[in-house]
Amino acid sequence: MTKSKKIRSAEAVKKIQSMFSCPYCSTSMTVVNLQSLVCQNRHTFDFAKQGYLNLLRASPNNQYNQKLFLARKEMIIEGQLFAELHKKISEIITNYFQRENHITMLDLGCGEGSHLEMIAKQMIQNVTGIGMDISKEGILQASKSYDDYTWIVGDLTHSPFSNHNLDVVLNILSPSNYLEFSRLLKSEGLLIKVIPRNLYLIELRQFFYNDEDTNTYDNQKTTKRFSEHFNHYETFTITYEKELKPESFSNLVEMTPLTWSVSETKIAQFLQDPPPKITVDFDVLVGYNH
């Protein structure tokens, strides 16, 4: 008899349950009856039938919906928009942990999970991968798409993980909490944070916004904050142009917050005559947790 996704997920989490701590009281947690994750003070979180765990203390308000996450998955998996970024991150991790056969990796702000999937599958090490996002819709899509990882609905300010158990924390185009990153990482662990540079999706910003401040993005403040918390770090710049199929532009428009305040008329104009290429421009900040 085939096991349900819920049972398979519970079995996977049971193997790594020491990595979890209660988001309410920070005590250790145990998988009980392959049904729930329960802390020492009996705070109880049930596995969903789709296999994910909801460890949020309260439901958030956000604009990230199913349509956005499906569009993002299409752009990442089918459109290969971030393929060179994924390759570089995989190389950084593989080379740093070349003496290790197995690593633990947490993607914080994972969305629908495609970044974690694309990075982990290119690595030579065996990866215990966990993805966490505050959006239940994103985690629901991740759990439907990728069975090899543990998916958590959770909040970075109350992250449900114990101290110093992770080899890698990924933080790709997502908010940061550097004290949490340091707490979660092992000694010699890696924080990999991806931030946009001033040419990222410049074609969209030039079309939808005429404001000069919007078209000129400066990430120096973000880099400075990173260096204040991780003084041992490197920066890798990834810049390239990507040709997209005409039908991919509707997914691109759907997945980016750049278009949230743009009128439907303006979006239709853009889709009617899209640019031949889209620019991808990132800094990859790699912090070493000494």
Tens digit of pLDDT for each residue in 133-159? Answer: 999 999 999 999 999 999 999 999 889
Looking up residue 127, the CATH number of its domain turns out to be 3.40.50.150
pTM, rounded to two decimals: 0.94
* Pair 171, 180: CB distance under 8 Å: no
- Identify whether residues 203 and 84 lie together within a single domain: yes
- Identify whether residues 45 and 78 lie together within a single domain: no
Residue range 18-35: mean pLDDT, rounded: 97
Dump pLDDT digits (tens) for 195-221.
999 999 999 999 998 755 555 667 899
- Identify whether residues 269 and 198 lie together within a single domain: yes
Dump pLDDT digits (tens) for 113-139.
999 999 999 999 999 999 999 999 999
Angle at 262 between CA 260 and CA 268, to 5 degrees: 115
What is the pLDDT at residue 64? 80
Q: Is the pLDDT score of 170 beyond 80?
A: yes
Number of domains into which the chain is organized: 2
Mark 148-179 as b/e (b = at least 16 C-beta within 10 Å). Answer: ebbbbbbbbeebbbbeebbbbbbbbbbebbbe
- Identify whether residues 39 and 158 lie together within a single domain: no
The verdict on whether residue 110 carries a ligand-binding annotation is: no
Percent of the chain whose pLDDT exceeds 90: 86
* Pair 189, 210: CB distance under 8 Å: no
Q: Is the pLDDT score of 234 beyond 60?
A: yes
Return the closest-CA partner of residue 141 out of 57, 64, 44, 233.
64
Return the closest-CA partner of residue 162 out of 27, 9, 10.
27
**Residue type present at position 271:** L
- Identify whether residues 28 and 150 lie together within a single domain: no
Residue 266 tokens read as 């303006």
- Identify whether residues 134 and 30 lie together within a single domain: no
SS3 158: helix
- Identify whether residues 110 and 68 lie together within a single domain: yes
The verdict on whether residue 200 carries a ligand-binding annotation is: yes
Return the closest-CA partner of residue 173 out of 62, 56, 282.
282
- Identify whether residues 285 and 201 lie together within a single domain: yes
Helix 264-272, helix 248-255: angle, nearest 10: 150
The verdict on whether residue 39 carries a ligand-binding annotation is: yes
Return the closest-CA partner of residue 181 out of 283, 108, 277, 111.
108
SS3 246: coil
- Identify whether residues 46 and 69 lie together within a single domain: no
The verdict on whether residue 112 carries a ligand-binding annotation is: yes
Helix 66-73, helix 248-255: angle, nearest 10: 130
Q: What is the mean pLDDT of the chain?
A: 93
Beta strands in 134-209 (DSSP E): 150-153, 166-172, 185-196
- Identify whether residues 42 and 57 lie together within a single domain: no
Return the closest-CA partner of residue 230 out of 197, 195, 196, 188.
188
The verdict on whether residue 229 carries a ligand-binding annotation is: no
Secondary element (H or E) of residue 84: helix 83-96
The verdict on whether residue 43 carries a ligand-binding annotation is: yes
Of 33, 50, 67, the one marking the end of a domain is 50
Measure the CA–CA gap between 122 and 115, rounded to whole angstroms.
Answer: 11
- Identify whether residues 249 and 105 lie together within a single domain: yes
- Domain range for 18 is 1-50
SS3 content of the chain, % helix, strand, coil (to 5): 40, 30, 35
- Identify whether residues 108 and 146 lie together within a single domain: yes
